[in-house]
Chain A
């Protein structure tokens, strides 16, 4: 529903309009004044959140470097203009009381900045949030509507805070390390002091991370309870899945923060040790240059090896540890003995019989070949042939039905392959052979 209201609103166009952008993001001096007002208001310096114009001018003076004694005259009229611009989004003027107070944009942006830079929620708060969430989940888990409410309202309200807190710690390490990098390279800073600060910063992050981990202990309980929910409601299943992923992301982020700190701390300490001895660092650099300049290459076998100047010995890393000879039964050298194979002797009688049978088969094949070529020759000569009669002729002479039928089929197949003849089957006429009861339809082969 809300989306349809937004159709005529274009965020980018609006923010780029006239000087809206500048009014939303004022310059450093104005911003510092706003932030200082915000801080003072939080400290309770302004009853009912109301402050006077003089308070604002005093802050302009402080942050503009025009404090009494600094010699720079205070430009009241210019700052009045700046104040006027702040009235658009940041401050309001109460005409009755003639006092100023914060607009919601001013408060919200200051809170966001503060939260981002410092991490608003204390680990103990997170612990409390998790405990509350768990308690609410237990009461809601038997009612699907309440469960959905738990996901969409109770949990959602804290999700941002929880992940913001973990992100914040991660960022804190980055800041500490980049501060260190930047300042190591600039020579006007006292490196020892600097390193101490960075180390303290990191120790603080580590401590906070540890507390945070403890605070998140209840998360395990929440995920266990979630996984016990037995439902077929797709919305709830979807929520459970998303929540599990959310908590697992938070846990892995906390773990990775821990790991990063574990890895960085020793290096910081080493850096600290090195930088506290600038002479040693300078000499180390000279040493590296010396090695690179004065080492030579010597041919050893097919390689060229680096030889250090004679004053610099090579590093001996270890002595020859005994290489124990072990015995392993190598399959290729000691193959498993083969099992004796059973031998079957030749039975000459069976062998002879098999040979005879085989020979008979071959003879039959040859006989068929002879018959077929003879019949083809006849057909070539006469131009036509009664194939059925030919069958009975073969049967009569050879007295073998198999040969006769093989010849008959072979003949018809070959004739058809040659394509010069046509085969006609005449079912109305039948052919009968002598000395046999078989009857065949008349099959005539004729030259085309």
Chain B
């Protein structure tokens, strides 16, 4: 065993009553990619995570080679399993599920609209679709080509429809990750939504060089 010299890891938390009630379900949620936080239906796991964070981090690190991360502060705190750490490189790719690139693009555009442009009160899905379609001409060409998968040129009604559907799909996927919450037409970005950019933090910092490379 490699971990002989390391600090002895304590798994006794798994024997506690709280673990019996919560651990199994929490484990599934985390492995399914859910971000646990105060604002959606995962809030009941927050006290348990706060209390056992150290042990749980060890547990996932040692047994699965995945890092249990904690981000944000106060009521913005959220937990998730990070599949992007270096140790993860050895993990079999067939066990990893990828978020669709289409979702990433939609998510970035949503981030831009709500956080960079300060539309903090925007919480209607239909208004979001309208905004993407009418107010963000600078993205129109790319969205038509990549999301509506149409030939470049004038936008058609069908293109708008396709982009609307992609927004619906993305919101569905984000809800599974605990990045957003929605009901009918009402949606809310949750604190963990910032991860969409944090994942690409390195790329974004170096974007000027990358753009030069492609010119």
Contacts and interface: CB of A to CB of B under 8 A. Distances in A.
Interface of A: 177, 180-181, 184-185, 263-264, 266-271, 274-275, 280-281, 283-295, 297, 304-309, 311-321
Contact of A317 (B99, B102, B143, B147): B99
Given A297-B149, A317-B83, A319-B83, A292 B143 contact: yes
A298 to B, nearest CB: 10
B61 interface: no
- Looking at B95, B120, B189, the one whose CB has the most chain A CB atoms below 10 A away is B120
Contact of A318 (B96, B143, B208, B211): B96
Interface residues of B, number: 64
B8 interface: no
A121 to B, nearest CB: 27
A290 B105 CA distance: 11
Interface of B: 28, 31-33, 39, 64, 66, 75-76, 81, 83-84, 88, 91, 94-102, 104-105, 108-109, 111-112, 114-121, 123, 138-139, 141-143, 145-147, 149, 177, 188-189, 191, 194, 196-197, 199-200, 203-205, 207-208, 210-211, 214
Contact of B98 (A180, A275, A288, A314): A314
Chain B facing A: main interface SS: helix
A181 B96 CA distance: 40
Nearest to A295: B146
Given A283-B207, A297-B149, A311-B210, A316 B115 contact: no
B118 A184 contact: yes
B207 to A, nearest CB: 5
A284 B108 CA distance: 8
23 contacts: A177-B121, A266-B191, A267-B115, A268-B120, A271-B118, A275-B118, A281-B116, A285-B116, A286-B207, A287-B203, A288-B112, A290-B214, A292-B141, A295-B105, A308-B104, A311-B203, A315-B84, A315-B199, A318-B32, A319-B64, A319-B66, A320-B94, A320-B96
Main secondary structure of the interface of A (DSSP, over half): helix
Given A274-B116, A286-B211, A305-B102, 8 more contacts: A181-B121, A266-B75, A267-B115, A284-B116, A287-B197, A289-B142, A315-B199, A321-B31
A291 B105 contact: yes
A106 to B, nearest CB: 37
A287 B207 contact: yes
B120 A177 contact: yes
